[in-house]
Amino acid sequence: MSMTTPPLFQAHGLTKIYGAGESEVRALNGVDLELFAGELVVLLGASGSGKSTLLNILGGLDVPTEGSLHYAGEDLTHADEKRLTQYRRDSVGFIFQFYNLIPSLTARENVALITELAENPMSPEEALTMMGLGERLDNFPSQLSGGEQQRVAIARAIAKRPQVLLCDEPTGALDVKTGIAVLEAIEQVNRSTGALVVIITHNAVIASMADRVIRFSDGRVANIEQNSQRQPAAALSW
Amino acid sequence: MRPLDLKLVRDLSRMKGQMIAVALVMACGLAVMVMARSLVLSLGGSIDEYYQAHRFAMVFSELKRAPNTLRTQLERIPGVAAVDTRITGALRLDLPAMKEPADGVIHSLPDDRPQQLNLLFLREGRLPEIGDRYEVVVSEAFARAHGFRPGDSVEAVIYGARERLHIVGVGLSPEFVYELQPGQMIPDPKRFGVFWMNERKLASAFDLSGAFNSVVVDIAPGANAQAVMAALDRLLLPYGGQVAYDRSGHVASKQIADEIRQLVQFSIAFPVLFLSVAAFMTSAALTRVIRLQREQIAQLKAFGYSSAAVGWHYLKFALVIVLLGSVLGSLLGLWMGQSMTEVYKRFFQLPGLPFRPDWLALALGFLGAAALSLLGVIGAVWQAVRLPPAEAMRPEPPAAFRASLFERLGLQRLASPTLRMALRNLERKPWQALFTVLGLTLATAIPILPGAMSDSIDYLMDFQWNQAQRQDVTLSLIEPGSASALSAIGQLPGVMHVEPFRSVPARLRFEHRERRVSLTGMGRDSQLGRVLDVQGRAVAMPLQGMLLSEKLADVLGVSPGDTVLVEVQEGRRPVLEVMVVGSITDFAGLGAYLDIDVLRRHMREGGTLSGAHLTVDKAYWDAFLAKVKEAPRIAGLSISANVRASFEETTGEMMGIMQGIYLLFAVIVACGVVYNGARIALSERSRELATLRVVGFTPREVTGVLLSELAMLTVLALPFGLYAGNQLTQLMVELSSTETVRFPLLFTTRTYASAVLVILLSSALSFIVIGRRIRQLDLLGVLKARD
């Protein structure tokens, strides 16, 4: 990845404090970080190390207590709720451990729900076919396996062609085989759309498919590792 | 506090909005029940005690004149426990404060023997004593309306003679618990009063010395009232006796009995409706809570709590809500009952009308509400506790959906994803949807009632005073007058148009049914006093046969073409067979009408009249009234404008109270049902909604997703609600339709529109509250949580 292009995200002294006084928790404690378009980044760290908090702030679900965050040159630190909603709507795709599909909508409709909001989306069929679900367009979530549901969630996240794809433990609820299939799908999105992909995981094996691996500890970046070669997801096993 | 109870308190405080919504709906039902039952107890109890203590007679009979010696014979009728003979008559009062005369009736009090029946209750002063002066006791309502106290005096025309009546006491009689002037729709204490005077004094005034013209009788326990009345009729017939009647034919007694009957019906219908809706709301809310707490239930059981203990814990949720609803409902009901008692005090003249709370009704209401609510949640509780702990700790399988009927019909292209979600959700939970619709139907129906009633009263007033009775004044004569009386009336100052009428008391019989009514002869093409058909068109008097009020035809069971036996109770007392040729529409009393000349022929009379309807030139109004006050042969006059104003005032006030209460109830039910439904939906689908927020839906869009479902149900409920309101009003009008007074049934667009508006505004209010909760949705917390 070229580090000469301007970064997509620029974080300076990013700090998030929950609670106050005795019960004060510093979830993030002064994080400086740059993330670039097109790269695939894995965030590793123990529970409570701050990686999820960072993801939430990057995704516009939360705002930092101190420090600053810029996205494509725009200051998100002081964005209001309305602007953050717009930001999520236009630029960010989310994938969660629990797929969070709307149970009353079919696979196709779950995706369509998002593409209706977007400026220049793929068609729901295209997104789902990309995820290998071309045959299951009209199935409801309750008729799909866990892996299939997660792939619908990915299709939903990528259909609007986001600049950023944020994945929080995307394989956490899946078996190895299905997990790898899901990672392949994410990898494919990264390669074909050029989106910045950030994956949070407990699973260190996944780190080898990343361009960069960022380790978190106590709310700080412990180290950043550049992989000389990305492993294809298909080659992983755990 | 035990930990489980602590959990109960905390869980309930988290759902306090829903708890209050359900409790309020419940409170409405219980309030009506407590109010109505307490009023039945208060009114019924007070009236029973009054009748008992003041020995209200059981049988009544009017006659022309019979010697006092006949009394012993009356006392000997088998089954008679007590007899009072007396003199009654009309009088006209000349009150300085009023331009027009007021009317009254006067009754004698025995002075040579103790009074047996209808004993007076003296509020102040004393009974009249024998002397030179005309001493009277005056009825309390009239005294209060004019500020009369013992020591005051009033000018009256008794049987054509002008006398000064000295008020020595203010009192009440069980005979006049409802002081309604004959022929009027509601009491007007300013223009009608009751007086009591010594027998000897009154006898000389009415030229009835040594005689009586009215009998009241008490029947011995177990005796046959019909037999007594028949014997009475036989004995009194030679003395001009009219047929005897019992309490069911006594205007005041009947009025109060009708009122109590209506309260009883009211106390059943309303609570059942409201409590059913409340029970459904409890059920829906608690079923959701239990579903959410599936894992907690499993844990409790894993720790060793028995199924019974856990089940009881969840039943307590319902009980707390019922308790809250009962307390609110009781307080509201007691307050409403107390206020209504004050209103009743103005309509019903009783020595006292203390408010008696019906604690039994309260207890029954609580038990009923508790039973209904427990019934609603017991299924969910049972399901929850039956589950083995290990299984319960696993999340519930994901909800299964399928394409909605709408889409299976191939209409999916018409529906946006949001609409599809709503339709599929509704189809997946048809019962919840059905009950929500039922609740909203009830909420829509309630405001129809006061709207329709208010329109009904407007219509009635127009019908009565613009269409049917177009006279300015109705005069009645002491004794039937002749053609010369008619011309004398025509010569009163300012009189522009005169229409005579002749009315005689008569008993109408058909098969085994009978009623005592006033048979009225009217001019064929009357322009002032008219009878109208159901469309409000004037009906001309037939050349042969008679017309009956719809209600009278209904009561007697006759249809046009039937022949009714008419026993006239006046003059030569002809017994006639008259064919019913049609029915007419009226809203007060029972009437029978025929051509005035036909009636005169039956009576073998010339150009007689009992009174006349007049129009009077307003320029001569004062002169006209002054002259009427002087005229000795005029028994009474009724000024249409005054009657109308007093009717408007009385009903207007009542309608105001009713409208307020019904509106409040409608808003509570609508807000309660919508809010409860929305809260449940919010809790069931918070994860879904949070997802939408995360992917970029605005709070407004998310609110739209959640509420489109409820909005659909609201719209769906509207037509049902309007229909139900229509039916409910019809039922209420039927229930409140008596032989004394009835209300027309009519529905206007305005009524329907305002009901729709009430529901839409209430729903909008609930939507706003829910919208705020959606804004506060904890996006991260919800998404991180496992389903």
For residue B173, the model assigns a pLDDT of 96
Over residues B403-421, mean pLDDT: 70
Which 124-183 residues of chain A touch chain B by CB within 8 A?
140-143, 156-157
How far, in Å, CA of B569 to CA of B508, rounded? 11
For residue A205, give Cα distances in angstroms to A154, A169, A235, B63. Answer: 21, 13, 10, 114
Cβ distance of A109 and B420 shorter than 8 Å: yes
> What's the mean pLDDT in B574-585?
94
pTM of the model: 0.79
Which of A57-61, B11-15, B524-528, B552-556 is modeled with the greatest confidence?
B552-556
B424 — contact with chain A (CB < 8 Å)? Answer: yes
What local confidence, expressed as pLDDT, does residue B391 receive?
Answer: 67
Determine the distance from the C-alpha atom of residue B461 to the mean position of all C-alpha atoms in its chain, rounded to a whole number. 17
Q: Does B786 touch chain A if contact means CB atoms closer than 8 Å?
A: yes
* pLDDT tens track for B485-496: 999 999 999 999
- pLDDT tier, B397 (very low <50, low <70, confident <90, very high otherwise): low
Give the minimum alpha-carbon distance from B397 to chain A in angstroms, rounded to a whole number. Answer: 8
B693 reaches A (C-beta below 8 A): yes
Q: Residues for chain B: how many in total?
A: 787
Q: What pLDDT was estimated at residue B701?
A: 83
Neighbours of A94 (CB within 10 A): 25
> Does the pLDDT value for residue B570 go beyond 60?
yes
Contact A105 B420 (CB under 8 A): yes
Given an 8 Å threshold on Cβ–Cβ distance, is B398 in contact with A142?
yes
Q: What confidence score (pLDDT) does residue B594 get? A: 94
Q: Do A103 and B420 touch (CB under 8 A)?
A: no
Q: How far is CA B346 from CA A107, B334, B350, B401, B658, in A?
A: 70, 19, 10, 62, 17
What residue of B is the nearest CA neighbor of A157?
B695
pLDDT band per the 50, 70, 90 thresholds, residue B558: very high
Mean pLDDT of B183-194: 87
Helices B359-386 + B307-347 axis angle, to 10: 160
- Interchain contact A59–B (C-beta under 8 A): yes
State the best of B401, B404, B786 to mutate against chain A, taking most chain A CBs within 10 Å: B401
Q: What is the pLDDT of residues B253-305, one digit of tens each?
A: 998 998 999 889 888 888 888 888 888 888 888 888 888 887 788 777 777 77
A53 at B interface, C-beta within 8 A: no
> Do residue A140 and residue B425 have CB atoms under 8 angstroms apart?
no
The residue in chain A having the minimum alpha-carbon distance to the alpha carbon of residue B421 is: A104
| Spatial distance between the Cα atoms of A65 and A54, rounded to a whole number of angstroms | 12
By percentage, how much of chain B surpasses pLDDT 70? Answer: 96
Domains delineated in chain A? 9-235 (3.40.50.300)
What's the pLDDT score for residue B392?
66
Q: Is the pLDDT of residue B550 over 60?
A: yes
Q: Is the pLDDT of residue B784 over 80?
A: no
A114, A7, A9, A6: which is closest to A58 by C-alpha?
A9
- What sign does the dihedral B529-B531-B537-B542 (CA atoms) show? negative
Mean pLDDT of chain B: 88
Question: What are the DSSP calls for A154-215, one per residue?
Answer: HHHHHTT--SEEEEESTTTTS-HHHHHHHHHHHHHHHHHH--EEEEEES-GGGGGG-SEEEE
pLDDT digits (tens, 9 = 90+) for A43-85: 998 888 888 889 989 988 888 999 999 999 899 998 888 888 8
Cβ-in-10-Å burial (0-12, 13-18, 19+) of B119 comes to middle
ipTM, 2 dp: 0.73
Residues of A within 8 A of B421 (CB-CB) are 102, 104-105
> Residue A1: its pLDDT value, please?
47
Task: Please write the tens of the pLDDT for every residue from B453-466.
Answer: 888 888 988 998 88
What ranges in B293-358 are assigned the alpha helix state H?
294-303, 307-347
pLDDT in tens, B92-145: 898 888 888 889 999 999 988 999 999 999 999 999 988 888 999 999 999 999
Residues of A in contact with B426 (CB under 8 A): none
A113 reaches B (C-beta below 8 A): yes
pLDDT of residue B33: 92
CA distance A97 to chain B (A): 8
B429 touches chain A (CB under 8 A): no
Residue (of B473, B501, B512) closest to B621 by Cα position: B473
Q: Which residue among A98, A114, A143 places its CB closest to the CB of B695?
A: A114
Segment 741-780 of chain B within 8 Å of chain A by CB? 779-780
pLDDT in tens, B628-682: 888 888 888 889 998 888 888 888 777 787 788 888 888 888 888 888 888 888 8
Cβ B699 vs Cβ B473: under 8 Å: no
Q: How far is B388 from chain A (nearest CA, A)?
A: 24
Q: Angle CA(B237)–CA(B238)–CA(B242) in degrees, nearest 5? A: 30
CB within 8 Å: A142 and B779: no
Residues of B in contact with A113 (CB under 8 A): 417, 692, 695
> What does the domain layout of chain B look like in residue ranges?
3-45+260-455+648-784, 54-254, 467-642
For B687, the closest of A61, A86, A100 (CB atoms) is A100
Question: Are B420 and A109 spatial neighbours (Cβ–Cβ below 8 Å)?
Answer: yes
pLDDT tens per residue across all 238 residues of chain A: 445 688 999 999 999 998 878 888 888 999 999 999 999 999 998 888 888 889 989 988 888 999 999 999 899 998 888 888 889 888 898 888 877 788 888 898 888 888 877 888 889 999 898 888 889 999 988 889 888 988 898 898 888 888 999 998 888 878 888 889 889 988 988 998 889 999 999 888 899 999 999 999 999 999 999 988 888 988 888 7
* Å between B283 CA and nearest CA of chain A: 23
Pick from B421, B691, B699: CB nearest A100: B691
pLDDT band (50, 70, 90) for residue B415: low
- Interfacial A residues in 16-35 facing B (CB < 8 Å): none
Is residue A105 within 8 angstroms of chain B, CB to CB?
Answer: yes
Whose CA is closest to B414, among B425, B423, B401? B423
**pLDDT classification of B769: cutoffs 50, 70, 90:** confident
Closest CA of chain A from B685, distance in Å? 9
Mutate one of B404, B689, B691 to test the A interface: name it (highest A CB count within 10 A).
Answer: B691
With CB atoms and an 8 Å threshold, state whether A104 touches B425: yes
* Residue B545: pLDDT over 80: yes
Write down the pLDDT at residue B506. 94
